[in-house]
């Protein structure tokens, strides 16, 4: 059904490249101050070891929370001491921690000597970008793009647990770091919920240590693994879809318990993605994930999380209702896969932009929640940062008496709230396909542009769909209609990523 060519190649290529074990050295680094082309191998995990102390950069307490401090640690095989360099372009890299998928960040974009260096959700901000400069002794200097200061063993420490910070560049051993490849390829995982090799996309409630539950629509889990089979632990009955080795998504309907997804697999590394039908209306399936089950001798392996993450906020159109193969035939899912980005649909059938007295869910409020079952603003946006947010709202507000004046005013609030949640994202406000509140949506975008936010964009969807051939009713796109939307929307977003 997808009209993109070639289908699924970005996802499969990304997984296979990430799952491969790289062997490299730190040779070939460029001279001090030069753009560090080929400075590091982006597929390789390194320990970052200080020349003065002999201690390695690690994340304090092996923490996975945003804001955990980068400290000096006795070198070990701990995943919290393993980092890879993710290319940001222009000779800069984000330095990603293996155990948490977060990156080294100069806290609060500080330019001060002695500022905290922490891990934080990857937003590709300048305070998360580092230049890698070769030194004559075979070490490297790591210079923060935002501050122009170098990663520094603070106050010449030699004790594990001491601070890592930034300081004016001085070419001393406290700012010289050896990049030591992790030859083992990292820690093999068990497939358990907390396995750092598992990648979660979308809003997952992780409060229950035994079961993570998918909130909203379009959430999914990915992993690379070895072994002849792969299975999933489920709680109650649910419609689950899966894709193995980048193949077509396939449904397993009304399954529960320990479910074997695929057996008889050959040797080598394989990939899996699983997701669930959204809980909505009369459908009360249990979207609870308990981890993957592996064959004897099998293990999960590390994968590269894509640099871009796109969140689609909307109503039943963004969910993909009423089509039976949603979410993977919905336009947001298609766009995300085509662009090789992580993605999720924070969407609910019947949703409005504005919360109304007669009970319409206003996504200007509800997008800050983990799911429709949440009773407050409980989503932690530091868990992952979107590089793009697409808003498609306004189709339902007319039926709930929302005036054009109120709609425009509240759309501005929505854009302000999304910007607060995702400081570095490009925000795309789509014109509804029925052209409802079109001037008001564009006026809201213009207002934010006028306030200095140039990264908010209006998407004119006029003529994208033909009512006679692209809708299943007078409102909802068919699967082919969603493919048409994706064909138009993907290149618009791509030019900003």
Residue, of 182 and 9, whose pLDDT is higher: 182
Three-state DSSP class for residue 76 = coil
At 214, is the pLDDT very low, low, confident or very high (cuts 50, 70, 90)?
very high
Handedness of CA 128, 134, 136, 139 (dihedral sign): positive
Cis before 242 (ω within 30): no
Q: 141: closest CA among 97, 172, 104?
A: 172
Per-residue confidence (pLDDT) for residue 27, from 0 to 100: 26
Per-residue confidence (pLDDT) for residue 7, from 0 to 100: 34
pTM of this structure: 0.70
Q: Is the pLDDT of residue 75 over 90?
A: no
Q: Is the pLDDT of residue 30 over 80?
A: no
Q: Is the pLDDT of residue 76 over 80?
A: yes
What is the number of alpha carbons within 13 Å of residue 299 lying toward its C-beta?
A: 10
22-36, 92-106, 210-224, 276-290: least confidently modelled range = 22-36
Distances (CA, A) of 23 to 38, 66, 149, 224: 15, 30, 30, 19
Task: Give how far the C-alpha of residue 341 lies from the chain's centroid of Cα atoms, to the nearest Å.
Answer: 8
**Do residues 397 and 360 make contact, with C-beta atoms less than 8 angstroms apart?**
yes
> What's 340's DSSP letter?
T
**Tens digits of per-residue pLDDT, 388-399?**
999 999 999 999
**Do residues 427 and 389 make contact, with C-beta atoms less than 8 angstroms apart?**
yes
Task: Please report, rounded to a whole number, the percentage of residues in the chain having pLDDT higher than 90.
Answer: 79
**Tens digits of per-residue pLDDT, 147-165?**
999 999 999 999 999 999 9
Task: Give how far the C-alpha of residue 480 lies from the chain's centroid of Cα atoms, to the nearest Å.
Answer: 27
Per-residue confidence (pLDDT) for residue 330, from 0 to 100: 98
Residue, of 23 and 39, whose pLDDT is higher: 39
Using the structure block, give the residue that is written with the tokens 């900003």.
496
Residue environment code for 68-95, b if the CB has 16+ CB neighbours within 10 A, otherwise e: bbbbbbebeebbbbbbbbbebeebbbbb
Section 43-60 average pLDDT:
91
Distance CA 389, CA 419 (A): 9
Domains of the chain: 24-181 (2.80.10.50), 199-301 (2.60.120.260), 309-494 (3.40.50.1110)
Per-residue confidence (pLDDT) for residue 186, from 0 to 100: 52
Per-residue confidence (pLDDT) for residue 39, from 0 to 100: 63
Q: 310: closest CA among 417, 215, 428?
A: 428
Three-state DSSP class for residue 117 = strand
Using the structure block, give the residue that is written with the tokens 């306004």.
394
Measured distance between the N- and C-terminal CA atoms of the chain, rounded to whole angstroms:
25
Beta bridge partners of 174: none
């Amino acid at each position: 059904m997808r009209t993109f060519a070639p289908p699924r190649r970005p996802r499969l290529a990304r997984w296979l490249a990430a799952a491969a074990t790289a062997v490299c050295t730190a040779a070939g680094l460029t001279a001090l101050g030069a753009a560090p082309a080929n400075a590091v191998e982006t597929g390789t995990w390194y320990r970052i070891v200080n020349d003065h102390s002999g201690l390695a950069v690690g994340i304090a307490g092996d923490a996975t929370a945003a804001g955990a401090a980068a400290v000096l640690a006795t070198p070990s095989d701990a995943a919290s001491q393993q980092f890879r360099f993710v290319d940001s372009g222009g000779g800069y890299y984000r330095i990603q921690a293996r155990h948490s998928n977060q990156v080294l960040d100069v806290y609060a974009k500080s330019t001060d000597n002695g500022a905290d260096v922490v891990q934080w959700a990857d937003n590709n901000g300048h305070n998360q970008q580092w230049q890698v400069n070769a030194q004559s002794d075979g070490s490297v200097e790591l210079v923060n793009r935002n501050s122009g200061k170098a990663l520094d063993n603070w106050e010449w420490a030699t004790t594990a647990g001491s601070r890592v910070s930034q300081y004016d560049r001085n070419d001393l051993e406290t700012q010289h770091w050896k990049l030591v490849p992790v030859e083992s390829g990292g820690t093999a995982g068990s497939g358990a919920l907390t396995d750092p090799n598992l990648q979660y996309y979308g809003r997952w409630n992780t409060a229950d240590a035994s079961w993570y539950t998918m909130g909203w629509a379009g959430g999914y889990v990915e992993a690379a693994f070895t072994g002849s089979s792969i299975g999933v632990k489920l709680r109650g009955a649910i419609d689950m879809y899966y894709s193995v080795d980048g193949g077509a998504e396939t449904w397993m309907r009304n399954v529960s318990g320990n479910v074997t997804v695929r057996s008889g697999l050959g040797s080598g590394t394989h990939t899996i993605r699983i997701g669930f039908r959204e809980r909505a209306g009369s459908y009360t399936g249990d979207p609870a994930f308990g981890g993957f089950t592996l064959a004897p001798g099998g293990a999960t392996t590390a994968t590269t999380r894509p640099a871009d993450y796109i969140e689609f906020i909307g109503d039943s159109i963004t969910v993909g209702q009423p089509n039976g193969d949603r979410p993977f035939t919905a336009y947001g899912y298609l766009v995300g896969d085509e662009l090789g980005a992580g993605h999720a649909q924070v969407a609910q059938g019947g949703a409005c932009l504005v919360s109304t007295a007669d009970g319409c869910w206003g996504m200007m409020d509800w997008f800050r929640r983990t799911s429709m079952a949440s009773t407050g603003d409980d989503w932690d946006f530091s868990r992952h940062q979107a590089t793009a947010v697409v808003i498609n709202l306004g189709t339902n507000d007319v039926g709930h008496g929302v005036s054009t004046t109120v709609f425009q005013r509240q759309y501005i609030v929505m854009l302000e709230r999304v910007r607060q949640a995702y400081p570095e994202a490009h925000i795309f406000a789509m014109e509804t396909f029925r052209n409802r509140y079109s001037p008001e949506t564009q006026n809201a975008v213009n207002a934010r542009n006028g306030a200095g936010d140039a990264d908010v964009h209006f998407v004119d969807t006029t003529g994208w769909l033909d009512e006679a051939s692209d809708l299943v009713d007078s409102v909802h796109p068919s699967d082919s209609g969603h493919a048409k939307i994706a064909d138009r929307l993907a290149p618009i977003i791509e030019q900003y990523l």
